[in-house]
Structure 1
Amino acid sequence: MLRLVHKSLLLGACLFPLASAAAESGYDADKRLFRLDGGAVTYAFKIDPDGLVRSVYWGRRIGAGDPIDAAQAKAASGFDVAANVVPQEYAGWGGGLFAEPALKIAMPDGNRDLVLVYGSHRMDADGVTVEMHDIRLPITVSLRYAIDRATGIVARSSTIRNGTRGDLRIDQAMSATYVLPFAPDYQLHSLTGRWGAEWTRQQRPVSAAATVLESRRGSTGSENNPWFAIGRAGRSTEQDGPVWFGALAWSGSHRITVAQDVAGRVRITGGYNPFDFAYRLRPGETLDTPVFYAGYSGHGMGDASRLLHRFERDRILPKQGAAPPLRKILYNSWEATEFKVDEAGQISLAEKAARIGVERFVMDDGWFGARNNDRAGLGDWTVNRRKFPNGLKPLIDKVKSLGMEFGLWVEPEMVNADSDLYRAHPDWVIGMTGRPRTEGRNQMVLNLARRDVRDHLLAELDRLLSSNDIAFLKWDYNRNWSEPGMIGAAPADQQKIYVDYVRNLYWLLAELRKRHPNVEIESCSGGGGRVDLGIMALTDQVWASDNTDPVDRLLIQDGFTQAYAPGTMMAWVTDSPNWLNKRATPLAFRFLSAMQGGLGIGNNLNHWAEEDFATASRYVAVYKRIRQTVQRGELYRLVRPTPGDVQSTTLYVAADRSQAALFSLVQGTYRLDPRAPIQLAGLDPQARYRIERMDGEPLITEIPSVASGAYWMGRGIDVPLRGDFQAAGFILTRVG
């Protein structure tokens, strides 16, 4: 199958290497029309008589012999010339364009007019590359298209070349523009948030007033995740209706603009954020844009997310063998000790974690440099010998003797002013000459756009991993940029930081993975502040939120899984009352909330009673039974939570439909309101499934122990929950 990966890991663009089976692509020379088919999707575009590359069709797959074309678009009036009416796939800002451009440039002589037309193309087994050029200047753009055979997800990116004899200033460089079929009732779905409240689902009509989903923070940010879905009002639901969706594979400042154009068509343009952006392109140089992935489903928001999950598992996530590795159950020591880590205390926690079946012990912040609080030590990645007189080896050896792997927290991209690194290299931080250096969480951001900083971090992390048997890094990033300049760089190159920083981050992660292929990495940014398809191509799992309250988490996880696969999402069981909102909840409720992603435990085990260890041991054992289904199966959101009265029912079905895991949780129940039976989905209707409770308690008499998939999907399951913070989990196993 086609594998779509990032060239940006090394060079900053995208590669689509051929695989054993390719998607279908073709070119009709008479109509000058390109067609890509994959999964249940057809994507088509053409060259119009004026040489503009324009959209033709994107949606449900149509027959190979069916006619597919579009009438020539003409100027509507003197106010809207052809540049605004033609639904261009990649428009330069010029020729009278007022719609959102894909590319905007400035020449040294002040010229800013850019009209891109077709030059040539190269067909591949998996797609096509279209070469465009300006009508007068030797400025060219390569548009790369590829389609995934299984899901029909299209990958698009561009490469901009300066063939002139002078420098170009690129003011806007987008990856692609997608155009939807005309309809008057589109609804945009997006994911917004802030620290502690990430992944909030939003919905609004699409209109001529543009909606901008962006980050100006230097990283992805929680404010607007680079994902979108667009459905039809009244037609597109969780279970049915057309949905177009997409995600930008970029971990820096980004922008996705959604708006109707003057002809009533919806255009979605995404790529680098042009805010504070200026990229000098010298003669002969190129600039590669990120990949902008997009797909279509005719079966609602649920199927759209399952298609994207499958694509992420098969095409984006790092692999060890044929598939991404299953997430191990981990214990993290932060809530138990915070910065007060030492060898004896960590060994004591490791022994308790091993009792309940934990597979990976992770020591969090406080183990290095002069790190006794968040005001010092960042940047000095040497073991604190006062806390660990003999280094990390005695602790690691003990953890391994208990049958667990050892993991470590790091925050390589940051530095405290009170650190040996900053005292030696104060010019290594992001900042502007002569301006204050704003701190967040008492730290500054190292300028990873500099190659010397990149190489220093590689050397430090390589030394750490080579000197210790470390299987896992929790890679944190706890603040965003301020004063985004490059000390010592030429004025014309200052704003390259927005591209070069992320390129070097990708290079650093890729090189570490090459040198230490068995080390797994988690992307964390004060919670879900850096989750996107770019970082996910280089990390094994992500941290969705610092908010570990199990009720809030149901909302957070519901939004997260709209865009990203549950198998990438770490979810922890932590202490009660929760540290963030002081809500007290039962331990079983916390487990059933957290078991819907990659399971982690962050409690202070020193405070647990024997009853807590028994409860945890049971749910850890259950999770190991259903882990593959949760992490690699198909997710059906049967009841979606809403703020204020959170009720959530989710079903995970194994790829071969041999097992299913059902989770039903309520924040509270009221009066004697009856609950409707839960009708499952995705099972084999002809097969028979045995059902059991995850807590080991007997089924109520109304639930048969064995029934057909048709029964469970038709009649459903009665789950009588009464009271506050009630939850039930079930396992269904195919028996015939």
Structure 2
Amino acid sequence: MTAAVGTLGGSCLWSHPELGLRAVLDAAGSVRLGAPGQDQATLVPLVEVTATGHGRLWSGERFIETAIGARLTYRDHDTVRDANRERTTIRLADPETGLVAEVSLETAVGAGFLRSRVRLVNEGEAPLRLESVSTLTLGGIADADGGLDGLTLHWADNDWLAECRWREAPLREHLVPLSRFAHGHEGRGCFERFSQGSWSTGRHLPIGALTDRSGRSWLWQIESSAGWRYETGEREGAAYLALFGPDDAHHQWRHTLAPGEDFRTVPAVLVRGAAGGLDTAFGELTDHRRLIRRDHPDHRALPVIYNDYMNTLMGDPTTEKLLPLVEAAARAGAEVFVIDAGWYDDDAQGWWDAVGAWEPARGRFPGGIQEVLDAIRGHGMVPGLWLEPEVVGVRSPLARTLPPEAFFRRGGLRVTEHGRHHLDLRHPAARAHLDAVVDRLAGEWGVGYLKLDYNINIGPGTENGPESPGAGLLGHHRAHLDWMAGLLDRHPGLVLENCGSGGLRMDYAQLAVAQLQSTSDQQDPLRYPPVAAAAATAVAPEQAAVWAYPQPDDTADRIAFTLTGALLGRIHLSGFLDRMSDEQFDLVRSAIRVYKDIRPEIAEARPFWPLGLPGWEDAWIAHGLRGRDSTYLAVWRRQRPGAPESRALTLSHLRGVDLRPEVLQPATADATAEWDAVLGTLTVRLPRTDTAVLLRLGAPV
């Protein structure tokens, strides 16, 4: 098995050989997680908890070294195994408060990842006001020499139109040596990243990594839509890692745990790449993402999606405008046609602050919206619609007819943001309203695809009685996930796309339920490549929807450029295809044929980046997938001063293999690719800037 549970005769309660981890019981009864051979002093308690009246033993910015965490002592543990998974639960108890922590450590057979979650139970006689709870802690992270100097820190900034921007720096740039011998204490600071408000990835991705000079890596992911934070710092000459859901200091989260009540943290996952650096670790994380998500046929079929919004109708659909696009999309090879925002807009003042009823606009569809939906089906495509379910415009009748308790409130006042109120899906009236909407669209209308957008950041959350805003936000998001799962239970063939102004809610709480993730709202095709190339760090490739919006005024190079970026993920085709020349349209149709040929391998492939994770201004960008039978590689060359016409890419997993690189897209490319099997390098030449190519490697010579 991948994890083995020891006996109490020794200090090891649990171990995971693939990760090189073990849970150690010390003489005082404390349980700590770390690598074998590490000094016990470098480790941190398995669970860290702050509560009002029970803070930290060493004050600062860190959320470790908590008083409760230091008091939690071992009670018992057990392991449950089935054919594919193994879950060990370690129970700890605090004798002072009566708080019990049940730590669930779950893995799969042969896997290089560990998923953790903590359940707290108050077995004491008094309420306990929680302010932070760790989901996973790990100590003793060090380079081969046993220190921090060889560790590199990796994190990802995220923003509207600029998602998945990975950065790296030596860990010592953020954790400088402090001459601990002179002070007798650790520092008070750490490197931290956290979310703010209801856009879980509005600032950063809930993912980070540490790598060492030998290529080993630690990669982590927090699975929360309602607040998360991670920190890494120095402890006794090694690094530690602590992963959290929402907390009081960053998210206004407090949770009163009455006697007999329990609380469950958000999940988090840890990946170890023993060799191969981040590519190997992201491959393991991709496997984990596929394992935890809800099964759905869309993950295997990968239909081509046309959406009328981006650089095309931009929220102004009508029957007259849509019908030519429907016909053209079908001829190009689309299998789903989505009518995006505006289909409900019959308001002279605009739809933004009037949404909520989700009824079709008669002025936009004189013959009824069913005329367009029937046309989509008549062309062999599945009809889809855009929906922003969690909001109600301030001018919508729903803002007056739904009860006040069905909306987010703070200080007794209904929250308003950018002309919208926010539904609290814990309230039965809010859920009944949205159930009725979706059952009408998916049931009566036969809509098979819903793009669920989310375009406001509502802030820290909602107060329902004495609850804190952050606790309200967590409660709403858990109800939101349950609502989405209920839709799929009632409509098993329905496909749900998760969109948050592009990629601003790109987390695996959402993506364990939704089938697709919008990666960006970026409308400049020359700015999209770093987002498209890095999307697989945040999303499994078959869930990563990338816009491809060729236009009739584009050159052949520009059409190929925007199409290529989507071919290793999920195509979100757009653009005025109906206005293209035959030659232009053939370029689109050819790219779609390529995609349909390779998509069976995308659903099982692992991502890699032969030039490293892309920088925002990089001239050359490369993203690949290691499939079952072939390796696929998308390469972009953008116009940047001094950028060469060719670039050598190292493909170490193919070193020594005789193969012939094949240009798949564009069909008329003048790109060249030369393979050196001895060195394992592929030299790609793109003679013109702002061009791209998709290659397949695997055909024998």
Q: Check whether TM > 0.5.
A: yes
Match of 1:646 among 613, 616, 619: 619
Please tell me whether residue 202 in structure 1 is matched to residue 167 in structure 2.
Answer: yes
Residue 184 of structure 2 corresponds to which residue in structure 1? none
Alpha-carbon offset, residue 133 of structure 1: 1.0
Compare 430-439 and 256-265 and name the one that shifted more.
430-439
Alpha-carbon offset, residue 257 of structure 1: 1.5
- 1:254-302 deviations in whole A, cap 9, x for unaligned? 1112211355442323222333111122221111011110010022011
Compare 298-307 and 205-214 and name the one that shifted more.
205-214
Please tell me whether residue 184 in structure 1 is matched to residue 160 in structure 2.
Answer: no
* Residues 261 and 267, structure 1, Cα contact 8 Å, conserved in 2: no
- Match of 2:504, as an amino acid? G
Please tell me whether residue 507 in structure 1 is matched to residue 482 in structure 2.
Answer: yes
Determine the C-alpha separation between the residues in 2 that align with 1:585 and 1:26: 58
- Match of 1:497, as an amino acid? G
| Alpha-carbon spacing, 1:96–1:729, altered in 2? closer, same or farther (3 Å) | closer
Please tell me whether residue 458 in structure 1 is matched to residue 435 in structure 2.
Answer: yes
Match of 1:723 among 688, 694, 697: 688
- 1:469-512 deviations in whole A, cap 9, x for unaligned? 222111100011137333xx323455520320111011101111
Q: Secondary structure at the match of 2:222?
A: strand
Residue 241 of structure 2 corresponds to which residue in structure 1? 267
Residue 666 of structure 2 corresponds to which residue in structure 1? 695
Residue 41 of structure 1 corresponds to which residue in structure 2? 19
Residue 29 of structure 2 corresponds to which residue in structure 1? 51
Residue 10 of structure 1 corresponds to which residue in structure 2? none
Compare 553-562 and 406-415 and name the one that shifted more.
553-562
Determine the C-alpha separation between the residues in 1 that align with 2:131 and 2:685: 59
* Residues 564 and 634, structure 2, Cα contact 8 Å, conserved in 1: yes
| Alpha-carbon spacing, 1:170–1:477, altered in 2? closer, same or farther (3 Å) | same
Please tell me whether residue 247 in structure 1 is matched to residue 221 in structure 2.
Answer: yes
* Residues 92 and 116, structure 1, Cα contact 8 Å, conserved in 2: no
Matches within 5 A, 1:475-490: 475-482=452-459, 484-486=461-463, 489-490=464-465
Q: Secondary structure at the match of 2:408?
A: coil
Determine the C-alpha separation between the residues in 1 that align with 2:491 and 2:677: 46
Residue 349 of structure 1 corresponds to which residue in structure 2? 325
Alpha-carbon offset, residue 517 of structure 1: 1.1
| Alpha-carbon spacing, 1:364–1:325, altered in 2? closer, same or farther (3 Å) | same
Match of 2:343 among 367, 371, 390: 367
| Alpha-carbon spacing, 1:113–1:311, altered in 2? closer, same or farther (3 Å) | closer
Determine the C-alpha separation between the residues in 2 that align with 1:692 and 1:512: 42
Please tell me whether residue 291 in structure 1 is matched to residue 267 in structure 2.
Answer: yes
| Alpha-carbon spacing, 1:716–1:192, altered in 2? closer, same or farther (3 Å) | closer
Please tell me whether residue 98 in structure 1 is matched to residue 73 in structure 2.
Answer: no
Q: Secondary structure at the match of 1:158?
A: strand
Residue 613 of structure 1 corresponds to which residue in structure 2? 585
Determine the C-alpha separation between the residues in 2 that align with 1:210 and 1:154: 24
* Residues 318 and 324, structure 1, Cα contact 8 Å, conserved in 2: no
Please tell me whether residue 155 in structure 1 is matched to residue 133 in structure 2.
Answer: no
Determine the C-alpha separation between the residues in 2 that align with 1:357 and 1:400: 14
Determine the C-alpha separation between the residues in 2 that align with 1:555 and 1:698: 21
Compare 86-95 and 393-402 and name the one that shifted more.
86-95
Q: Secondary structure at the match of 1:28?
A: coil
Alpha-carbon offset, residue 532 of structure 1: 1.2
Residue 303 of structure 1 corresponds to which residue in structure 2? 280
Residue 597 of structure 1 corresponds to which residue in structure 2? 569
* Residues 293 and 512, structure 2, Cα contact 8 Å, conserved in 1: yes
Residue 124 of structure 1 corresponds to which residue in structure 2? 80
Unaligned runs of 5+ residues in structure 2 are: 176-186
Match of 2:506 among 531, 535, 538: 531
Q: Secondary structure at the match of 1:617?
A: helix
Determine the C-alpha separation between the residues in 1 that align with 2:158 and 2:555: 21
Determine the C-alpha separation between the residues in 2 that align with 1:698 and 1:277: 54
* Residues 523 and 535, structure 1, Cα contact 8 Å, conserved in 2: yes
Q: Secondary structure at the match of 2:299?
A: coil
Q: Normalising to structure 1: TM-score of the pair?
A: 0.83
- Match of 1:279, as an amino acid? H
Residue 76 of structure 1 corresponds to which residue in structure 2? none
| Alpha-carbon spacing, 1:687–1:170, altered in 2? closer, same or farther (3 Å) | same
Determine the C-alpha separation between the residues in 1 that align with 2:343 and 2:357: 11
| Alpha-carbon spacing, 1:686–1:678, altered in 2? closer, same or farther (3 Å) | closer
Match of 2:604 among 632, 648, 660: 632
Alpha-carbon offset, residue 534 of structure 1: 1.1
Compare 679-688 and 497-506 and name the one that shifted more.
679-688
Alpha-carbon offset, residue 45 of structure 1: 1.0
Determine the C-alpha separation between the residues in 1 that align with 2:64 and 2:197: 21
Q: Secondary structure at the match of 2:528?
A: helix
Match of 2:201 among 203, 221, 225: 221
Residue 46 of structure 2 corresponds to which residue in structure 1? 89
Determine the C-alpha separation between the residues in 2 that align with 1:213 and 1:390: 51
- 1:172-204 deviations in whole A, cap 9, x for unaligned? 122121224342222221111221112111223
- Match of 1:218, as an amino acid? S
* Residues 299 and 542, structure 2, Cα contact 8 Å, conserved in 1: no
| Alpha-carbon spacing, 1:698–1:50, altered in 2? closer, same or farther (3 Å) | closer
* Residues 196 and 202, structure 2, Cα contact 8 Å, conserved in 1: no
Alpha-carbon offset, residue 553 of structure 1: 1.7
Alpha-carbon offset, residue 591 of structure 1: 1.0
Residue 178 of structure 2 corresponds to which residue in structure 1? none
* Residues 139 and 238, structure 2, Cα contact 8 Å, conserved in 1: no
- Identity within the alignment, %: 21
* Residues 143 and 156, structure 1, Cα contact 8 Å, conserved in 2: yes
- Match of 1:650, as an amino acid? H
Q: What do you get for the CA RMSD once the two structures are aligned?
A: 3.1
Compare 201-210 and 540-549 and name the one that shifted more.
201-210
Alpha-carbon offset, residue 417 of structure 1: 0.8
Compare 136-145 and 531-540 and name the one that shifted more.
136-145
Determine the C-alpha separation between the residues in 2 that align with 1:155 and 1:401: 45
- 1:425-472 deviations in whole A, cap 9, x for unaligned? 3623323246584422x3232223434323332232223211122221
| Alpha-carbon spacing, 1:41–1:577, altered in 2? closer, same or farther (3 Å) | farther
Unaligned runs of 5+ residues in structure 1 are: 1-21, 58-67, 74-84, 106-111, 705-709
* Residues 556 and 584, structure 2, Cα contact 8 Å, conserved in 1: no
Determine the C-alpha separation between the residues in 1 that align with 2:242 and 2:63: 11
* Residues 632 and 695, structure 2, Cα contact 8 Å, conserved in 1: yes
How many matched pairs? 665
Determine the C-alpha separation between the residues in 2 that align with 1:430 and 1:536: 24
Determine the C-alpha separation between the residues in 1 that align with 2:353 and 2:199: 24
Determine the C-alpha separation between the residues in 2 that align with 1:470 and 1:550: 30
Determine the C-alpha separation between the residues in 1 that align with 2:540 and 2:494: 21
Determine the C-alpha separation between the residues in 2 that align with 1:280 and 1:703: 62
Compare 364-373 and 135-144 and name the one that shifted more.
364-373
Alpha-carbon offset, residue 104 of structure 1: 7.3
| Alpha-carbon spacing, 1:370–1:281, altered in 2? closer, same or farther (3 Å) | farther
Determine the C-alpha separation between the residues in 1 that align with 2:637 and 2:547: 18
- 1:354-386 deviations in whole A, cap 9, x for unaligned? 111111100001122646734343211222233
| Alpha-carbon spacing, 1:329–1:50, altered in 2? closer, same or farther (3 Å) | same
Determine the C-alpha separation between the residues in 1 that align with 2:552 and 2:65: 51
Determine the C-alpha separation between the residues in 2 that align with 1:121 and 1:483: 36
| Alpha-carbon spacing, 1:224–1:268, altered in 2? closer, same or farther (3 Å) | same
Please tell me whether residue 30 in structure 1 is matched to residue 9 in structure 2.
Answer: yes
Q: Secondary structure at the match of 2:380?
A: coil
- 1:383-407 deviations in whole A, cap 9, x for unaligned? 2233335544332222122121111
